[in-house]
Each structure stands twice: as C-alpha cells, then as structure tokens.
Amino acid sequence: MSSLAVRKAAPAAGTTPGTAQGPPLRRRIAFVPTLTLLLGALYCLLPVAWVAIAATKSGRELFSTFTFLPGTGFAENLKDLNAYRDGVYWKWMGNSALYAGLGALLSTAVSALSGYALAIYRFRGRETVFNVLLAGVLMPPVILAIPQYLLLAKADLTDSYASVLLPLVLSPYGVYLARIYATAAVPGDVVEAGRMDGASEWRIFTRIALPMMIPGLVTVFLFQFVAVWNNFLLPYIMLSDDEKFPITLGLFTLLEQGANAPALYTLVITGALLAVIPLIALFLVIQRFWSLDLLSGAVKS
C-alpha cells in the first residue's frame, strides 16, 4: 500500500487536527457538512435496517405491524429458509461464493499478466491491443450474453458452472487497472536489472513484478468479486437448473414465485438479509486494507 501512500498528496485540511489554540468545540464542528453526510448515511442504511428488522417478522406480522417494529418470527423464518427445497438457499450461497471467488481469482491472474505486458514492454500493436480490450468495457452485456448463450449451446456448455464462470474471466476494467498499477509500481530499471542477472522474463514477472503489484491486484480481485457476485444477467440467461443458481438469481426466482404465494415473501426477505451479510462483512474488513487511491490513479491517467 505504501507506494500509493507516497504518491498521495498531503491529506486535505479536513483530516488534520485543529491548531493548538483552536476555537471552542462548537465552532470546530462543521455542522452543515456533518448533517448532510449523516442524512446521506441514513438514506443509504435505511433499506438495510429495514431488511434486518423485517427478517424478524412472521408472515402475518410483515403486513400488519409497523415497519420498524421487530417481530417474533426470526427463528421460524430461518428454519423455513433452511427447509425450503432441502436447503437450496445455501447451495445458492455456495455457488455465488464459487462463481465470485474462483472467477475473480482467474480474472485477476489474466489481468495481472496482460496489464504487466502492456505496461512494461514496448512492442508492435501494444496500443491496438489495449484499445481493443478497452472497447470491451463499452459492450452492453446483453449483446454479448445472448450470442454467448447460443454459441455455448452449440458446444453443449449452457446450464453449467463454466457457462457463468468463463465469460467473465476477461475483465477489460481489470486489465486497465492492472496496467496502470504496473506502470506505477514496477520500475523499468528493476526489470532491466533482473535481465542483467540472467533471469527469464517469466521469472522476473513472478518473482519481482508480481509482489510489487499485489496491492493493486487486491483491488482488481475485489472489484471483480463484487462484479461477479452482483451479476444477474449472465446466470439469468445461461442457467435453468436451480441447483447451479447464484444467490441473486435464486432470490429473484423466489420473489417471482412469491407474487403468487405471499407466504414466500418472508423467505425472500430473510434470504436477502443473509445474502447481504457476507458482502457487508467483507467490506468492513477490507476497507482497512483496501486503498481506493488506485481509483484516483485510474482517474488521473
């Protein structure tokens, strides 16, 4: 993280403590900004607070008691969710973890290789390769997903784990970030020194460059993890066997059935709460380590 911290300008005045003989406390707090931010936080937390409370309500309480009044049915709801179709809910969670974890790992590896190559080497067609890869960002997923489905159907690969994993491995945004990060973090003379010592290009990459790129690659991994975990369109198109569904698609089908059987609504709500907990926990943990400065690097380039 340190290399990024160095590049960052001195923290803005907002984070520096007041001067020694500063004004009294009342004047030291900026009320309007603090209040604005608190209102923003309230708005952003409202649905999360709602789902946490709604998940404690039994089906009857959900439609009859005041919204933010906790109910008595949480244990019951959990039991129903566990029992629903022999615990298919947990299968969905597991699938999401697999798609997002493995997918993001593969994606980060490909991004690291390509980003490093585009940043370090001077070769013919470098900018063309980069621009063509970047144009991928602009492709609406649906123009890709439907022909991907039809082509995978010809290879008899639809409705499989691979059909959701593979199309997402190449992430143009990941390659873009990895290139910027390699440019900033891997000095050209270090690579040159490695060559002088007779190391192969592959060895220079794995032993010297890769460790230097790790903080940036963590960011690429997390971006891709969230992108795959949140993806809906691709599994929606590719999968029909609900044993392979990720959690987004699973909850969606549950909601769709709930339109005819409102008893399922409590399951949807409890399921939604449990589905956001892992990602929120992940965020709370990683935000300590995750340097979002990489984004500003991306912005400034």
Partner 1 sequence: MTSARRKAYGVKGAPYAFLLPATILFALFFALPIGYAIWLSLHKVQVKGLGLGSGARSEVWAGLENYTDALTDSELLHGALRVLGYGAIVIPVMLGLALLFALMLDTDRVRLAPFTRLAIFLPYAIPGVVAALLWGFLYLPDVSPFYFVLDKLGMPQPDLLDGGPLYLALSNIAVWGGTGFNMIVIYTSLRAIPAEVYEAAKLDGATPLQIALRIKIPMVAPSLVLTFFFSIIATLQVFSEPTTLKPLTNSVSTTWSPLMKVYQDAFGKSDIHSAAATAVIIALVTLALSFGFLRTANSRTRQEEAR
Report the site for partner 1 in 39-98 (rule: CB under 8 A).
40-41, 43-48, 50-51, 54, 62-63, 66-68
d(CA 46, CA 53): 11
The SS3 assignment for 169 reads coil
One of 126, 190, 193, 211 touching partner 1 (CB under 8 A): 126
Element (H, E) at 292: none
- Among 60, 188, 232, 243, which residue sits at the site for partner 1 (rule: CB under 8 A)? 232
d(Cα 276, Cα 50) in Å, to the nearest integer? 13
- Considering only 81, 239, 251, 267, the residue that binds partner 1 (CB under 8 A) is 251
User: Can you tell me which of 56, 158, 219, 248 binds partner 1, judged by CB under 8 A?
Assistant: 248
143-162 burial, b at 16+ Cβ within 10 Å, e below that, comes to: eebeebbeebeeeebbeeee
Rule CB under 8 A: say whether 272 interacts with partner 1: yes
205 lines the binding site for partner 1 (CB under 8 A): yes
Q: Contact with partner 1 (CB under 8 A): which of 5, 83, 132, 214?
A: 132
Tell me the C-alpha to C-alpha distance, in Å, between residue 43 and each of 37, 161, 172, 284.
Answer: 10, 37, 32, 19
Torsion, Cα 274 280 281 285, to 10 degrees, reads 170
Contact 231, 148 (CB under 8 A): no
Q: With CB under 8 A as the contact rule, which of the stretches 10-18, 73-81, 85-93, 211-219 interacts with partner 1? A: 10-18
Hey, what amino acid is at 149?
A: Y
Cβ-contact 165, 99 below 8 angstroms: yes
Q: How many residues bind partner 1 (CB under 8 A)?
A: 108
**Burial of 125 from C-beta contacts in 10 A (0-12 / 13-18 / 19+):** exposed
Tokens representing 262? Answer: 């409102």
Select the residue interacting with partner 1 from 2, 6, 12, 19 (CB under 8 A).
12
Using CB under 8 A as the binding rule, whether residue 8 contacts partner 1 is answered as yes
Tell the smallest beta-carbon distance from residue 34 to partner 1 (Å).
5
The Cα–Cα gap between 173 and 177 comes to 6
Q: Judged by CB, which is closer to partner 1: 86, or 143?
A: 143
Binding residue (CB under 8 A) for partner 1 from 5, 263, 280, 285: 280
Is residue 284 near partner 1 by the rule CB under 8 A? Answer: yes
Check if the beta carbon of residue 280 is closer than 8 Å to that of residue 208.
no
Only segment of 71-79, 81-89, 143-151, 212-220 that touches partner 1 (CB under 8 A): 143-151
- 195 contacts partner 1 (rule: CB under 8 A): yes
Pick 9 or 86: Cβ nearer partner 1: 9
Amino acid identity, position 84:
Y
Tell me which amino acid residue 219 is.
T
- Minimum gap (Å) between residue 213 Cβ and partner 1: 13
Select 80 or 250, whichever has its Cβ closest to partner 1: 250
Q: How many CB atoms lie within 10 A of CB 55?
A: 24
Using rule CB under 8 A, residue 290 touches partner 1: no
Interface residue with partner 1, options 55, 104, 118, 217 (CB under 8 A): 118
The piece of 71-79, 80-88, 211-219, 287-295 that touches partner 1 (CB under 8 A) is 287-295
The answer to whether residue 268 forms part of the interface with partner 1 (CB under 8 A) is yes
